[in-house]
Structure 1
C-alpha cells in the first residue's frame, strides 16, 4: 500500500539531490539506499563538499613534504569484482598487483572506498604514495572500487555508487581537517588515462 509519509520522505531526499527513485510511496531498495546515504552525510545535500580551513599539516617521507593535494583514482574493476569479499580482501588483492606486478613496496593508495561506501586505509598518510608517476610527493591518493571500462567524461553515478560519493566527500573533508589541501584532482589530469572514470573538477563544481 502506498504510504503518504514515504512519498514525503522520497520527495525530501530527491530535493537534497539523493536518488530515492520515483516518489511512489513504497519504501524500496532505492529509497533505503538514499536514506542511508543521507544519514551518512549527516543531513547534508548530496554532492556537498566542504573543505574546512586548518593550520594542521601532514608531512610525507624523511624530506617532510607537506601534503597539499588529493588525487582520486579507481581500481578499474567491474561492479561484481570480488563481490562476496570484504574491502580488506580487495585491498590485499590490489596490494598484490602493486607489489608483485609493479615491484612497489606496498599498495600505492592511501585510502580505498568500497562499493558499499566503506573506507579502508592503505599506505599511511605520512608515507609517499605511488598513484601517479612523477606526482606523488605531498599527495594523498584515494581509490574508488570500480570504474572498469569508464571514460574520463562519464558521470560519477555511471561507475560508482551513491554511498561511494558520500564517503568520498566525507574522506576529503576529513583529510582537509588534518592538512591544508590546495587541490583535489583526478588521475586523468596527470596522465592519459580515464581513471578515475569521471571528471573530478566537474564533480566538485556540481557539489559546490
Structure 2
C-alpha cells in the first residue's frame, strides 16, 4: 500500500540530490538507502557534482603530473573485518600489506573510507599512488573498506554502507575543488578485477 506522506519524503530526498527511486509512496530499498545517506550527511544536500569546480591543479611527483582523475578501489574485506579493533587498525593493516608484503614505501591509496564514513589520509595527494598497474601518474586513489566477494556489477549498497556512499561523494567533490577532475573511474575499468565491487560511472549517475 502506498503512503502519501512517504511520497512527500521521497520527493524531498530527490530534491536534495539523493536517489530514492520512484516517487511511489513505498518504502523500498532505494528509499531506505537514500534516507540513510541523508542521515549520514546530517541532513545536508547530496554532493554529487563531479564537474571541475576550480582552476587549480594538483601536481604529483618530481615530473609534476597534473591530477585529473580519481580511481575508486575496495579493500576486498568482509564487513566485520577487524571491526572490534576499529578503523585505525584496518587502515594500519592495509598499510602493512602494502609496505611489508609488497615492498612499497607507503600505503598505495591517498584516501581510505571506513564503514562508518570516516576517512583517513594515506599518501599525500602530491605523491604518485600505487593503485593501478601502469596507471598512477596524475591519479588520486580512494579505497572503501569492504567489498569481499563482490562483482564489478554489484549495486553499491550490496557491499558498502550509506555512510560510505555519502562520504565518497563528498570526498570526490572536495578533491574536485582542489584540482580539475575530468574522470572518475573504478579499478575494474583498468584491470580484469571486480574492485571496487560496483560500476563507478553507473553509481555516479544514481543507477
TM range (shorter): 0.7 to 0.9
- Aligned equivalents of 2:179, 2:38: Cα separation in 1: 31
1:87 corresponding residue in structure 2: 87
| Offset from partner CA, 1:182-208 (integer Å, 9 cap, x none) | 11110001111000000111112227x
1:131 aligns with 2:131: yes
For structure 1, the 5+ residue unaligned runs are 24-28
For structure 2, the 5+ residue unaligned runs are none
The Cα of 1:10 is off from its aligned counterpart by 5.3
TM-score, normalising length from structure 2? Answer: 0.83
* DSSP 3-state at the match of 1:112: strand
- Aligned counterparts, 1:185-204, within 5 A: 185-204=185-204
Q: Is the 8 A contact 1:13 1:35 kept in 2?
A: no
| Offset from partner CA, 1:159-178 (integer Å, 9 cap, x none) | 11111011100000000000
Q: Is the 8 A contact 1:65 1:138 kept in 2?
A: yes
CA-atom RMSD, angstroms? 2.6
- Aligned counterparts, 1:149-168, within 5 A: 149-168=149-168
1:36 corresponding residue in structure 2: 39
| Offset from partner CA, 1:115-161 (integer Å, 9 cap, x none) | 01111100110110000011100100000000000000111110111
Q: Is the 8 A contact 1:69 1:184 kept in 2?
A: yes
In the superposition, relative to structure 1, how do residues 13 and 147 fare at CA in structure 2: closer, same or farther (>3 Å)? farther
1:182 aligns with 2:185: no
TM-score, normalising length from structure 1? Answer: 0.83
- Aligned counterparts, 1:17-96, within 5 A: 17=19, 33-39=36-42, 42-44=44-46, 48-96=48-96
Moved over 3 A (4+): 6-16, 29-35
Q: Is the 8 A contact 1:132 1:187 kept in 2?
A: yes
- Aligned equivalents of 2:198, 2:38: Cα separation in 1: 24
In the superposition, relative to structure 1, how do residues 90 and 66 fare at CA in structure 2: closer, same or farther (>3 Å)? same
In the superposition, relative to structure 1, how do residues 68 and 50 fare at CA in structure 2: closer, same or farther (>3 Å)? closer
Q: Is the 8 A contact 2:13 2:35 kept in 1?
A: no
1:26 corresponding residue in structure 2: none
- Aligned equivalents of 2:12, 2:82: Cα separation in 1: 31
- What is the aligned length? 194
* DSSP 3-state at the match of 1:39: coil
1:103 aligns with 2:103: yes
